[in-house]
Structure 1
Amino acid sequence: MHEASPAALAALERGTTTAEAFAFFDALPAVGVDEVLGRWRGSGLPTGHPLDGVLEALGWHGKRFAGPLDAHPLICDDGRGGLVDVNPAFVPLPLLLRFPAVFRHPVVARPARAALPLLGTRRPRARLRSAACRGVVTATMTYDALPIDDAFRAVDDDTLLGLMEARGMRDPFFFVLRRATAAARTPL
């Protein structure tokens, strides 16, 4: 069994394999929907997945969960010091997966980031529910317009490990969420 601790996560964040990420994820406890409410700062967990570094290059900031039916899966920097809730239905996931190096390149990433406000939305684009992932029922975010589920496990009260599964994606994408305001665990 893998040690499930913040220190072990820090070691994985320097780079790991999908197998090691699975072992760590499987060792973590489930988390309830009410426990994930709030604002979260996100970062990818580098495993060699095609999306490693792509979301960060495109300005991904994190996620916001205001309630079970009010989830915002793709919060990005707007390029002007603010944040924008991006509608994930407009994100070309098949292209990101097929040509990740192109989207990591600053020549493409900069104008793509500048265009993000055009893809903005004020409406929630996902919902939270409890669902089984790898044999454990845990908080899971299901996107409204895409065949994507993000399952969450607790590293500690203010840190989650996410596992994103999408139809057509061979391996899951792992990511880390850290509570944006650690002291404030109340719903938005």
Structure 2
Amino acid sequence: MSDDRPTVRERWQALRAAEGPLDPAELDALWADLDTVDASSLRGSWRGFAFPTGHPVERVLARSRWHGKRFTTQDDVQPLICRGEDGALYSDTTSGRGGASLWNVEFRGQVTATMVYDGMAVLDHFKRVDDSTLMGVMNGKAATSSASGHLFYFGLERE
């Protein structure tokens, strides 16, 4: 008997290609099926994108020309790498209220890599899609959409 259900990677690709709006429940379901990742394995530069759910953070990141994140060490993280008017990349420490650090933190019953912002009560939890792709979910008081109650979902692809 064959299993015709799409693989995790196929589900990821379909959601990545969708123009939206996406149902956060689909993203929650995919998140639940992904493998956890250790904070020490995230070093490097990552290009980011928002999953289009209508979450207010999507607009904020679009205005800032968000490019991604840079994990230099676990204690040296640039959470908001943005593209300036001149096309150059820079770390937006004003919007991000400083830098961040990486920890392994429990979220939804699993311990996984988590970026902790230095200047605000916001946590970005990560799970592995594959060796060069992560799914992230922003958690915290400032991260929950007051209109819908859902969290902000995003992806990172290793540069």
TM-score after normalising by structure 1: 0.72
Deviates more, 1:39-48 or 1:50-59: 50-59
Match runs of 1:76-87 below 5 Å = 76-87=82-93
Return the structure number with greater helix share: 1
Is 1:4 the counterpart of 2:8? The answer is: yes
- Asked if the contact 1:60–1:76 (Cα under 8 Å) also holds between the matched residues in 2, the reply is yes
Report the equivalent of 1:62: 68
Is 1:172 the counterpart of 2:151? The answer is: yes
**SS of equivalent to 1:65:** strand
CA distance in 1, matches of 2:31, 2:105: 15
Match runs of 1:76-155 below 5 Å = 76-87=82-93, 90-91=94-95, 125-155=99-129
Instruction: State the number of aligned residues.
Output: 147
CA distance in 1, matches of 2:54, 2:85: 28
For structure 2, the 5+ residue unaligned runs are none
**SS of equivalent to 1:178:** strand
Deviates more, 1:9-18 or 1:69-78: 9-18
CA distance in 2, matches of 1:142, 1:57: 22
Aligned sequence identity (%):
38
For structure 1, the 5+ residue unaligned runs are 93-118, 181-188
Is 1:41 the counterpart of 2:38? The answer is: no
Report the equivalent of 1:52: 58
TM-score after normalising by structure 2: 0.85
- Asked if the contact 1:150–1:164 (Cα under 8 Å) also holds between the matched residues in 2, the reply is yes
Cα gap change, 1:69/1:132 in structure 2, threshold over 3 Å: closer, same or farther? same
Deviates more, 1:11-20 or 1:147-156: 11-20
CA distance in 2, matches of 1:132, 1:145: 21
- Asked if the contact 1:3–1:27 (Cα under 8 Å) also holds between the matched residues in 2, the reply is no
The 4+ residue runs of structure 1 with deviation greater than 3 A are none
